Structure 1
Amino acid sequence: MSLRRRIETSKTVAAGLGALGWGYLAFCDRNTDWQVEGLTDLQDALSEGPILLVMWHSRSVMGAIHWPVADGPLSSLYNRSPVGRISGAVQRRAGLQAVEMSRTRSNRSASREVLRRFRDGVSIGMTGDGPLGPAHEVLDAPLDWARTLGAPVFCYAFSTTRGRQLNTWDKMLVPLPFGRGAKVFARFDGTLPRRATGAELEATREALRCFMDTTTARADALVGKAAES
């Protein structure tokens, strides 16, 4: 049986690989000199209730470790692909409440579970461009959740002077230890009515895309890097 098939069928295999991934990322986190921006604003918002956290897939690998678990729980979403299952295992290791979402089937049951958790005070975290892209394009899911929840929306990004961009659809940034890093949380001021028109939806999509790009560029600027293209 191939490794891919083992990951798809065995929670034990996915959990084991997730433990290795979490160990590596935690090692990088401990051995990076981090500059943090916006954490106090996030903590202030969490003191009043749960929020919706969005990030680009390319800058998501450190998101679980950088979430301030002590200030409030986070229900993270992942898909059931091999990479997604490993990511879910990493998220659980970091103390998040990971929820598996299907790429091909109805997620009605999973969505109800996420909503139940939100009403119990659990924030929701997701990638703006989903598990498959297109890269840096805001998909419908974060807009739908923002409209349904009516909660504050925060964007997250990290950058580092020592890292490697993978040859993947999103050019994912994976950190290396012993560098300088930046992690940024920024509150999105745009709003989306529950019964938004098509024009309002598209205007908010573009505003959120620009804001997420700006948040990512800010993280890059804090470590002296040019913004990614």
Structure 2
Amino acid sequence: MKSLLGNPVIQFILGSLIGGYMLLVGVTTRWTRVNQAVMEPFWRPNGGKLIGCIWHGRFSLIHKMWTFGPGIPRAKMLISHSREGGIVSHTARVVGAQVIRGSEAKKGKAKGGVEAMRQMARHIDGGGVIAMTPDGPRGPRMRVKRGPVQLAKLANAPLVAVTWASNNRIVFDKSWDHFVLPLPFGKGALVWGNPIAPPPMDASDADIEAVRLALEAEMNRIAAEADRIAGVPPIQPAPPRGEALVEAAETAPTS
């Protein structure tokens, strides 16, 4: 199966099918839009720098949080170099977005994260926007990592939390991100958060942490609001990584 998913032809077919399905879900769902006005200035030519952030588990309908057309800034999504990322890259192109490939190093092996950061900064400086999943690609679920905040500092771009929810869905609660698969013909909510200013270029670690916490709180706030509007149980964040390790140690069987 891993070999099959790594085949470029299979990735293209699967990505195209998934992208078509997500377009179908997007147009057949009756949406309530909340705080869209904060995003509309960015949809104009030369609308300004922007980094959009959505939780990994709700990445599938991120195209509904942006608009595409002549004169509108180009949106690019950060996609990992994994096999699954190859499929998602084709999905992103089907719904109208471009991609940048890269992710954090794993076991000392570079995954293109540094070069991806440079590409994203150049894209923002050129008038484009970037979409990221701050808890990806491996979690913890709904916990912001420092990458988006560091990019915001580098590019001097605000961070905007975005999310959606639908009452017609399947939640894969065995997956680390509690991935949400939306189904067609439901009722849902599209929610945009309030922009968060980037840390200054001379920001200290404490400054960066303050912005990280503010972004995490805003993303979780609007995720809960979207679920409430859709009338579905809210998806809860995982414990922060340090707390999760302590919890695992405390619950591990002893010899």
Could you state the TM-score of these two structures normalised by the residue count of structure 2? 0.82
Aligned-partner Cα distance in 1 for 2:217–2:195:
10
Contact 1:80 1:103 in 2 (8 A): no
Which residue of structure 2 aligns with residue 208 of structure 1? Answer: 215
Q: Report the more deviating stretch, 193-202 or 128-137.
A: 193-202
2:61 is aligned with what amino acid?
M
Q: Report the more deviating stretch, 23-32 or 13-22.
A: 23-32
1:148 is aligned with what amino acid?
L
Q: 2:168 aligns with which of 151, 162, 176?
A: 162
Q: Deviations over 1:29-64 (max 9, x none)?
A: 121111112223212134322311011111211103
How far off is 1:179 after superposition? 1.1
After TM superposition, list the pairs within 5 Å mapping 1:37-48 onto structure 2.
37-47=34-44, 48=47
Which residue of structure 2 aligns with residue 109 of structure 1? Answer: 115
2:36 is aligned with what amino acid?
L
Where has structure 1 moved over 6 Å in runs of 4 or more? none
Aligned-partner Cα distance in 2 for 1:215–1:165:
18
Which residue of structure 1 aligns with residue 241 of structure 2? Answer: none
How far off is 1:190 after superposition? 4.4
Aligned-partner Cα distance in 2 for 1:109–1:18:
24
Q: Deviations over 1:151-191 (max 9, x none)?
A: 12211111000101112101011101111011111223344
Segments of structure 2 that go 5 or more residues without pairing to the other structure are 237-255
Which residue of structure 1 aligns with residue 126 of structure 2? Answer: 120
C-alpha change, 1:89 and 1:124, in structure 2 (3 Å) is same
Aligned-partner Cα distance in 2 for 1:174–1:154:
23
2:176 is aligned with what amino acid?
W
Q: Does 1:13 align with 2:14?
A: no
Contact 1:76 1:125 in 2 (8 A): yes
1:12 is aligned with what amino acid?
V
1:16 is aligned with what amino acid?
I
Aligned-partner Cα distance in 2 for 1:115–1:20:
31
How far off is 1:65 after superposition? 4.4
C-alpha change, 1:21 and 1:51, in structure 2 (3 Å) is same
1:31 is aligned with what amino acid?
T
Which SS does the other structure have where 1:69 is aligned? coil
Which SS does the other structure have where 2:14 is aligned? helix
After TM superposition, list the pairs within 5 Å mapping 1:80-119 onto structure 2.
80-104=81-105, 105=110, 106-119=112-125
How far off is 1:11 after superposition? 2.5
How far off is 1:221 after superposition? 2.0
How far off is 1:72 after superposition? 2.4
Larger radius of gyration: 2
Contact 1:7 1:13 in 2 (8 A): yes
2:57 is aligned with what amino acid?
S
Which SS does the other structure have where 1:178 is aligned? coil
Which SS does the other structure have where 2:138 is aligned? coil
Which residue of structure 2 aligns with residue 29 of structure 1? Answer: 26
Identity %: 27
Aligned-partner Cα distance in 1 for 2:2–2:104:
17
